[in-house]
């Protein structure tokens, strides 16, 4: 059972293609169901890992990977189809690219990354999931109101910018505080480095 969170992560990764395929087929009701399952699984795997101590190094890699694959792919696809404004998708993708590059550079130059996602990062992920689900629900069923989604888009943009800046500051601060010449000390800033 201790591998259940990792299996849930793999299932979320496997859902990316059917979600995108249903988007392009304009079968939005199916998209809502599939994306809703993926969104719920994002919280479920973390809860199980924390509640029962089913943590693993693989989980620390799979969880953020699954999140980023899901969100970036759906943002880009939905923007291409005209469902999501380009400026929001650009911000979301740029944030993830910046975090990924920052983590890679830190790992190569200063040492391994350890830690937990920040509060603002968790809020941002929740808002991104909620916004995308709202967009799909509007396309499928005609609600929520467009004004509500516009406000949610602005809130998502703000938290995306704040989260990206927070990680950039954390990477910079940890690198700056390392003793001169020390490149193998674990940092406490992590790019959504897994709830497990």
Give the pLDDT band of residue 182 (cuts 50, 70, 90).
low
Q: Does some domain include residue 141? A: yes
Number of domains in the chain: 1
Q: Does some domain include residue 89? A: yes
CA distance 8 to 6: 5
Q: Does some domain include residue 107? A: yes
Here the CATH number for the domain that contains residue 97 is 1.20.120
Q: Does some domain include residue 196? A: no
pLDDT for res 187: 40
Domain, as residue range, for 93: 4-177
Q: Does some domain include residue 119? A: yes
pLDDT, the chain, mean: 84
What tens digit of pLDDT does each residue of 72-105 get? 999 999 999 999 999 999 999 999 888 878 777 7
What tens digit of pLDDT does each residue of 57-69 get? 777 778 888 989 9
Q: Does some domain include residue 46? A: yes
Higher pLDDT, 2 or 166: 166
Q: Does some domain include residue 187? A: no
């Amino acid at each position: 059972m201790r591998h259940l969170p990792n299996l849930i992560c793999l299932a979320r990764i496997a859902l990316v293609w059917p979600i995108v395929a249903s988007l392009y087929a304009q079968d939005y009701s199916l998209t809502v169901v599939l994306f809703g399952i993926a969104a719920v699984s994002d919280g479920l795997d973390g809860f199980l890992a924390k509640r029962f101590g089913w943590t693993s190094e693989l989980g620390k890699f799979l969880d953020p990977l699954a999140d980023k694959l899901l969100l970036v792919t759906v943002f880009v696809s939905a923007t291409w189809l005209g469902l999501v404004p380009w400026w929001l998708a650009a911000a979301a993708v740029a944030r993830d690219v910046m975090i990924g590059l920052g983590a890679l550079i830190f790992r190569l130059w200063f040492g391994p990354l350890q830690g937990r996602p920040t509060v603002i990062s968790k809020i941002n992920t929740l808002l991104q999931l909620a916004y995308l689900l709202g967009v799909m629900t509007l396309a499928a069923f005609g609600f929520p109101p467009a004004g509500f989604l516009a406000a949610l888009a602005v809130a998502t943009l703000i938290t995306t910018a704040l989260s990206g800046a927070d990680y950039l500051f954390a990477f910079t601060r940890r690198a700056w505080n390392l003793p001169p010449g020390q490149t193998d000390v674990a940092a406490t800033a992590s790019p959504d480095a897994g709830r497990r």
